[in-house]
Amino acid sequence: MNHHGFVARFRLHSLAVACATVCLVGLSEGALRAEPQNQTRYVPAASGNEARYRVREQFVGVNLPNDAVGTTSAVTGAIVLDATGAVVAGASTFVVDLRGLKSDSENRDRIVQGRILETEQFPTLELAVTALRGLAWPLPASGDLTFELVTDMTVHGVTKSRTWQVTATPRAGGLAGRASTSFTFGDFGMPVPTSFRLLSVEDNVRLEYDFHLVPG
């Protein structure tokens, strides 16, 4: 083969490689652009979201026990589902700012945020959503739904798997309802609250999240 023929074949080969590369890159970019279209993302609406704890306590000199309740609306995050309704891991996380927890007692709030949660060091509760069990998909337009939300929950510097029981109804393309779970103080390395006014505190923390999630 003479020099001119070799150069011509080299140029044709280079052109073919370049075209193939452009086509592959274009397909890859198209696939990446198309992927989010097959996902649905839900975020907390501007209102209707509140996280709370409930702990049964018995005060000295009081005949009946009382539920200590602390609430906050400082909830952020998102849950992302793929085309089959499965959770997209890593993109589905909720964060609760515990520094905003308020109950009907300032003294209780100081104890909870100080000795119990130590919010100066551990200011948030984080929920990494790993799975949904029993959620109808696509979401129906109406009706009551019950399902389970499986999470890796991090609080007080400790992460453990926690399953939430959820009841919800479809609303405006999203969902509204309540998720609840429970744990002991020791599960997450926290002491049971004590006070000179407290006769006893039940070692069972109930968490509730009243949610309104919308596409976003």
Counting residues of the chain whose pLDDT is more than 70, the rounded percentage is: 80
**99 has pLDDT over 60:** yes
Give the integer Cα–Cα distance in Å for 41 and 126.
Answer: 18
What pLDDT sits at residue 3?
47
**Where does the pLDDT of residue 194 fall: very low under 50, low under 70, confident under 90, or very high at 90 and above?**
confident
Which token pair is 46?
A: 């501007």
**Where does the pLDDT of residue 196 fall: very low under 50, low under 70, confident under 90, or very high at 90 and above?**
low
**143 has pLDDT over 60:** yes
**Which residue, among 49, 53, 58, has the nearest Cα to 69 in the 3D structure?**
53
Q: How many CB atoms lie within 10 A of CB 68?
A: 21
**Where does the pLDDT of residue 64 fall: very low under 50, low under 70, confident under 90, or very high at 90 and above?**
low
Contact 119, 113 (CB under 8 A): yes
> What average pLDDT does the structure give for the chain?
85
What pLDDT sits at residue 172?
84
Prior bond of 193 cis (ω within 30°): no
What pLDDT sits at residue 66?
87
The residue-averaged pLDDT of 97-114 equals: 95
**195 has pLDDT over 50:** yes
**27 has pLDDT over 50:** no
Please report, as a single letter, which amino acid is at residue 146.
T
Q: Is the model more confident about 196 or about 8?
A: 196
What pLDDT sits at residue 11?
47
Contact 188, 158 (CB under 8 A): yes
**Where does the pLDDT of residue 63 fall: very low under 50, low under 70, confident under 90, or very high at 90 and above?**
low
The residue-averaged pLDDT of 28-57 equals: 79
**Which residue, among 81, 72, 87, 96, has the nearest Cα to 155 in the 3D structure?**
96
SS3 for the chain is CCHHHHHHHHHHHHHHHHHHHHHHHHHHHHHHHHHHHHCEEEEECCCCCEEEEEEEEEECCCCCCEEEEEEECCEEEEEEECCCCCECCCCCEEEEEHHHCECCCHHHHHHHHHHHCCCCCCCEEEEEEEEEECCCCCCCCCCCEEEEEEEEEEECCEEEEEEEEEEEEEECCEEEEEEEEEECHHHHCCCCCCCCCEEEECCCEEEEEEEEEEEC
The residue-averaged pLDDT of 6-31 equals: 42
What pLDDT sits at residue 193?
84
Give the integer Cα–Cα distance in Å for 109 and 116.
Answer: 10
**36 has pLDDT over 70:** no
**32 has pLDDT over 50:** no
Contact 201, 192 (CB under 8 A): yes
